[in-house]
Every structure is written in structure tokens, then in C-alpha cells.
Structure 1
């Protein structure tokens, strides 16, 4: 539940005359507490989202997470061709909230993981990712880097095909392929895409956005699709 100080901060940033109505913690946040907050302003109910990052290790490794996501939302928001949350305010040091926090507008739609028409569902996600990669990226400050250095790769002791892992590692260590830098979401997968009916209504969770190779987004989404639905869905995507 949000504290009074957190409610007061949210109200002050949205509309000082607003009345706080409710706050519901949303599911899905692995490294963050995410709340859907209802405010009554000018006689109408307005919904906003507050994300508080409570993963201490992540904050230690990346001290600028809140600034990063705010910059991502503002960068994408300027383009206007991808539905994304509108940045409202940041509590970078957790002065008003329990943890560093970002306040943003709420997008319509829901996550869809079981589509009645998977080929259409995959195609529209692919087109959405392609559109993200068309966003101008030259002036964006955050650049791609590998989360896991190649020197840390180890063959898992549970595998029955160690030679396949060994061959994959050898291939990866040949070097990074040449690429044209594009704007990346960096965590694009079905849980971060919202739908209304058969149309994409928004893309959320922009805290990792950066400039780098398009294949990073493609590979990350393919991995998630393969784990959820099998390799055939990843191939179709």
C-alpha cells in the first residue's frame, strides 16, 4: 500500500487539487513495485502509474535508472508513432517515496499471452518492434552493452549436449557482427506489449532503452517466444 507521503507526492505532481481515491499494486513487476493510482480531479477519475524500483542490487549497478526511464519515455514520446506512457515526474533519490520512483500516465489495454490468432499477434508485435527501431537514436545517451561478458560463459552441468554449448560459445567469441545502430527497447517481449482487441495499444517498461544492434531486441523476444510457445513461434516472429 502507498504511504501518505507517496500519495501526497503523486497528487502534487498530477494536480494539487486532486483527491486520492485508491492505489492497487499491479502484478508483473520483478524488480519494482508498480501501483495503479486513481485520482479524482475536476470531477473525473484519472489513472496514473507509479513505479518504485526496490531492487537494491540493480540500483547499485545502475544508479541512474529513474533518469534513464524518464529520458526514454520523453525521447519516444517526442516521436509520437509508438504509444508509450507519458512521463509526469521523477523521485530520483526516493525523497518522497520509499524507493526511487517514476510517475507516468497509464495506457489503455492489457497484456495478451493467449491469442486466438497467433500469426496475426506475432506479426503486429514484429511491426511494433520494427517501428521502435525507426525512432531516431543519434542523440540518445544510453548505449548498448552486454549484461553478461563472454568471459563469464560456462557450460551448464545439467546439459546433455555440452558440445553444442561449446560450439555456440566459440561462435560468439569470434566477435560482434557489423551493424547499424538503432533505438532499442532492450526488454521487448509479450509481457511489455499492451493490446486493445486486435491492435497494439502501447509498449511499456522502457528503463533499459538504448542505442545498439537491432538483433538484441529480436533475439530477446525470440527467446521469450520460444520459451512460451516453442521454436516455431520464434521463427515466425
Structure 2
């Protein structure tokens, strides 16, 4: 049901809202695939002067998503504005409406955002170091973003198209917990704080050989990671990274972004690579990030994210289940 709703053509109210915001007539609508929380469509418009324009319309059509995060549009709006002046290739916000107005009053049919259409497409080349390095280079740039859209010292990240690298990307260490990151209250209103997702089920997954690891992980998965709070994507993985000409041309899907520990972004991408590409690309990506950021991947993030990942499927073992179990055991041992 959810996928069908997400692929349906947006109703006239949504398209009329987009036309009013962008000042043109929608001539073509194409659904994007892969979205889990929203319906995403590419719009082609003909403007009054005869030029054409493309934009991306994201509509939150699933009631369970809005029940869980009623202000999800406002959160994404704030994050995209924070990123607007940072030379990281992110979608420019063109308009948003969290349904403060009803469709009859000129608003969309559901909470929605309009964004710039970025060039490029996701690619998967896990055995190419340039691809893994490009993924890793994005994160120090993002994690250098401070409140108000500021970044650390300017630099150039060679694998990111037009990106400005922060101080971490330039080779210095990430700020220490007592000396960097954004202090409490410094983030712009509307940027949520990171919270670990609760697992779907609390009993140990049946395929685990050592169920006591799961019990210990549940005791620790909400433990603070112990890193500075910076802007994180929260769903960073290759499917949300666009490429063009061998360089990263865009990072998309910012609805989960929040203020949190850098290792959360590293770990989520690391686990996606592990499950989709295998052990070696996942470890190489982690090592590349550690070298670029001058930081060490935190074992508390590993525990938090493994509980999240393994809790989602629970009964179904992931690819390389023994590797996942060993990673969990190693992280728990490091935490003591």
C-alpha cells in the first residue's frame, strides 16, 4: 500500500502549489523510486518566459511517518537552509509547507517541500578506492557545519564537486567533546538532537550464536557516543549520494538530519556497505574517513547502529551474520 501511494501521480492540489511557488506550469511528472518515508517526484515546468525548469517535490503521504514526526517538513526546511551557504552539494530549498494552510487555501495536499534538482545519480563501485574515498570525503565537510550554516576552516575536498572542506577535512582532528562542536542551544531552532531508534523487538535475534551480546547491547545502545554534536545526515549511505564525472555531485534525503555524533554517519554507511558490498569495502571506507577526519570511529556508535539494523529484520539474518556478530562483540569489548 505504501509503495503504491508513494508512486502515484501527485494530485492537482500539490501540483498547483508547486506551480505557484515556482511560477510556471507543470508539464511532466516522474516518480523517483527507493523512498521509504515520502513520495518524491521530479517536476518539469514551463516558465512564463518560455524557459524550462526542473524541481523535486517531496510529499509526506504516509500517516505513520507524520504521526511519528509531525514537524518533519519544518525540520528538513531548517537543515536545508543551514546547508544553503555551505559548499556541499545539497538541494537548495525552493519552498515548503508543513500544512499550515489547507489545500483549499493554496497549500499542498499533504506536508511537502520543493527542492532544486541536483545532477548525477547514485552509483555503486565498492571495489574502486576513488568511490570509497568520495563517500568518506563528504562527511568531514558536513560535520564541520556549525550553527547558522557556518563551517570550519575553508579547504578543498577533491572528491566532492564544489565542496568546501571544514577543518577536519583539511587534516586536523575533529573537535574534542569539551572544546568543539556546537554547545547546547547553539543550533538553530528546529534542528533535532540525535536519538537512538528503539529496536522493533527486544529479544535476541534467533540467529545470534551468543545471545548475551544482544542483552548487553540493549543496555548500552542509548549510551551517549562521547563525541561533539555536529550536523549529521543520519541516513548517509551510497544510495543518497549522487555522482557525476567521477565526483560527488549531490547528497540528498535530509529529512532525518539532526545534531549528533559524527560516528553515527560513518557507522550507518559502514553497515550499508557491509551488507551490500562486503567486509573489505566497509572497513576501507572506515579507514579512509578516520584518515581524513583525524578521528577514530567510536564503538558506541557501532553498538547503537547494530541494534538498529539487526532489530529491524530480527528473525532474518543479515548478509555475513557472523561478521555482524563479531563487530558487535568487538564494540562491546571496547566499551568495557
| TM-score, normalised relative to structure 2 | 0.64
Shift of 1:127: 0.5
- List aligned pairs for 1:167-178, cutoff 5 A: 167-169=216-218, 172=220, 175-178=223-226
Q: Gaps spanning 5+ residues in structure 1: where? A: none
Aligned to 2:10: 2
Secondary structure (helix, strand or coil) at the match of 1:78 reads coil
Separation of aligned partners in 2, 1:173 and 1:227 = 20
Shift of 1:161: 3.4
Aligned length: 231
2:192 aligns with one of 131, 142, 155: 142
8 A contact 2:26–2:45 mirrored in 1: yes
- List aligned pairs for 1:1-237, cutoff 5 A: 1-15=9-23, 18-41=24-47, 42-79=49-86, 81-93=87-99, 95=103, 96-113=107-124, 115=125, 118-137=128-147, 138-140=186-188, 141-148=191-198, 153-169=202-218, 172=220, 175-237=223-285
Shift of 1:90: 1.3
More strand by share: 1
Shift of 1:103: 0.9
8 A contact 2:46–2:52 mirrored in 1: yes
Separation of aligned partners in 1, 2:73 and 2:134 = 29
Q: Gaps spanning 5+ residues in structure 2: where? A: 1-8, 148-185, 286-336
Indicate the RMSD between aligned Cα atoms, in angstroms. Answer: 2.1
